[in-house]
Amino acid sequence: MVIRMRVKTLTAASLFLLATEAHSNELDALINSSAALVSQIDRGIKLAGAGYAYANTGGALTSGSLAGTAHISTAQLNAYNAALGNMGDYQAYGDVQALLESQASTEFELMNTAVEEFTDVVVEMIAVVEVAEIAAEAETPDDKAEVQEYVVANETALTITQDQVDTYNQSLDDIEEHGNNASAYLGVAANEDAVAFCNKG
């Protein structure tokens, strides 16, 4: 149940990331071609208004060459109509499988960082293992005195700080979180039906 919820959450997060990060040639073409037409239409509206105003005052707007600057060319028309037609093939979410695999890779990197932090802090705290062993093995009063002497002489080196404990705990949480996330992303990426559904938008 928890895994299903995590997969659903990660799928939704992936879709959000895809919607915000995906770049599409089809969409770019539509944006560019429609903006070109809007620019020409805007210029035409201004020229028509100015021409009307000048005509009512008896003045001439131009020598007859200005209107052509607002014409919509055949190339602009074809680019716009082609962009409209290509939107049928547009994948609003881009290549879902590639993005999911990329997100999994990012999670693996974060998990590896957490593993390194965990390893480093465990090495720093490893003295506790020695303390636990010698304390547990001390049976005679002499053994116990040796433990006392060792601890007193090395207290600074044997002390574990709150920062170390915090790093230890957080690194474990991060390993679990990023490991689960990576697994969920790869699970969705490997599911052909899920990928096909996401590609349909």
Asked whether residue 83 falls in the same domain as residue 43, the answer is: yes
Q: Provide the mean pLDDT of the chain.
A: 81
Torsion-angle region of residue 64: left (phi > 0), alpha (psi -120 to 50) or beta? left
Of 64, 90, 116, which residue constitutes the final position of a domain?
Answer: 90
Same domain, 141 and 46: no
Q: Do 85 and 125 have their domain in common?
A: no
Residues 100, 102, 104, 106, CA torsion sign: negative
Quick one: 17 and 64 in the same domain?
no
pLDDT single digits (tens) 31-80: 899 999 899 888 888 878 777 776 777 666 667 777 888 888 999 999 98
Q: In angstroms, rounded to a whole number, what is the distance separating the alpha carbons of residues 69 and 141?
A: 103
Last-in-domain residue among 34, 57, 90: 90
Each residue's pLDDT tens digit, 118-149? 999 999 898 888 899 999 999 999 999 999 99
- Higher per-residue confidence, 109 vs 20: 109
State which residues form the domain around 42.
24-90
Q: Is the pLDDT of residue 93 over 70?
A: no
The verdict on 148 and 199 lying in the same domain is yes
Q: Is residue 76 exposed (0-12), middle (13-18) or buried (19+ Cβ within 10 Å)?
A: middle
Give the number of domains in the chain. Answer: 2
